[in-house]
C-alpha cells in the first residue's frame, strides 16, 4: 500500500492523496490557462466577435451552471459524512453530473442542427473546444464519483474520506472553470 494515503505526512503536513490532487489541479490550471490565453488572443485580435447571448442557448447555460453548483455542493456534503452518507451524496452528485452531460448533449445537438459548428467562426470553435474539454472533465469526475461510491465499503472510512476530499477539490475546480467559461462565452 502507498504510504500516507490516510495519515498526514510529517514533512508536507498533508496526505499523499491531497498533495497528488493539488499537483494534478496545478497541471489542469495550466491546461485551461493556455486555452483561456488563446481565447484572449483570438478575441482581442478579432475584427468582430459575436455575443454569446445571440448565438448560444442561455437558459441551458444557466441550468447547467445551477446543476454544476448543486453537484459540487453535494460532494462537499459528503465530506465528514458517514459511509452510508458518503455513498448517498456521491450518488446524488453523480446523478447531477449526468444531468449536466445530458443538458450539454441537448445543447450541442440543437446547435449543430442549426449549423452552429466549429468551422463557422472562431467564437464557435473556441466554444466547442472549451466546453468540450470541460465536459470531458465532468465525465472523468463522474467516473471517479462512481468508483469512490462503489468502493467505499471495501475501502473503509479513512480511505474513503481521503478520496471524497480529493473529489471535492476536483469538482470545485471543474465548477470554477465552468463559471469562467460561462461568463466568457455565454454572458459576454
Partner 1 sequence: MTRGSLTTLAIWLAAAAGLHACPVCFQMDDSAVGAGVRAGVVVLLGVTAVVLGGFVKFAVRVAKKDRHT
Q: Cβ 155 to partner 1, closest distance in Å?
A: 27
Cβ atoms 129, 35 nearer than 8 A:
yes
| Nearer to partner 1 (CB atom), residue 13 or residue 59 | 13
Cβ at position 61, least distance to partner 1 in Å: 22
Toward partner 1, which CB reaches closer, 110 or 188? Answer: 188
Minimum gap (Å) between residue 184 Cβ and partner 1: 11
State the residues that interact with partner 1 by CB under 8 A. Answer: 10-13, 22, 26, 29-30, 33-34, 36-47
- What is the closest distance, in whole angstroms, from the C-beta atom of residue 19 to partner 1 in the complex? 9
Q: Supply the minimum distance, in Å, between the C-beta of residue 44 and partner 1.
A: 4
**What CA–CA distance (Å, rounded) separates 116 from 118?**
7
Residue placing its CB nearer to partner 1 in the complex, 43 or 88: 43
Residue 148 or residue 174: which is nearer to partner 1 going by CB?
174
Choice between 13 and 115, CB closer to partner 1: 13
The DSSP line for the chain is: --TTSSSPPTTTSS-HHHHHHHHHHHHHHHHHHHHHHHHHHHHHH-S----HHHHS-HHHHHHHHHHHHHHHHHHHHHTT--HHHHHHHHHHHHHHHHHHHHHHHHHHHHHHHTT--TTS-HHHHHHHHHHHHHHHHHHHHHHHHHHHHHTHHHH-HHHHHHHHHHHHHHHHHHHHHHHHHIIIIII-
Residue number with CB closer to partner 1 (44 or 82): 44
Alpha-carbon separation of residue 24 from 28, 29, 90, 169 (angstroms) = 6, 9, 21, 11
Q: At closest approach, how far in Å is the CB of 4 from partner 1?
A: 14
Amino acid at each position: 500500500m502507498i504510504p500516507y494515503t490516510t495519515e498526514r505526512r510529517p514533512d508536507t503536513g498533508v496526505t499523499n492523496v491531497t498533495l497528488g490532487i493539488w499537483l494534478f489541479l496545478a497541471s489542469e490550471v495550466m491546461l485551461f490557462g493556455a486555452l483561456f490565453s488563446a481565447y484572449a488572443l483570438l478575441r482581442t485580435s478579432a475584427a468582430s466577435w459575436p455575443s454569446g447571448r445571440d448565438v448560444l442557448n442561455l437558459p441551458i447555460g444557466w441550468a447547467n451552471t445551477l446543476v454544476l453548483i448543486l453537484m459540487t455542493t453535494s460532494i462537499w456534503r459528503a465530506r465528514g459524512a458517514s459511509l452510508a452518507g458518503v455513498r448517498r451524496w456521491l450518488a446524488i452528485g453523480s446523478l447531477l453530473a449526468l444531468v449536466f452531460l445530458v443538458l450539454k448533449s441537448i445543447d450541442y445537438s440543437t446547435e449543430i442542427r442549426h449549423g452552429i459548428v466549429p468551422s463557422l467562426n472562431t467564437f464557435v470553435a473556441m466554444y466547442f473546444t472549451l466546453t468540450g474539454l470541460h465536459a470531458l472533465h465532468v465525465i472523468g469526475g463522474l467516473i471517479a464519483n462512481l468508483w469512490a461510491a462503489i468502493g467505499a465499503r471495501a475501502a473503509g472510512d479513512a480511505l474513503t474520506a481521503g478520496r471524497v476530499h480529493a473529489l471535492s477539490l476536483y469538482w470545485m475546480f471543474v465548477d470554477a472553470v465552468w463559471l469562467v467559461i460561462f461568463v466568457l462565452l455565454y454572458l459576454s
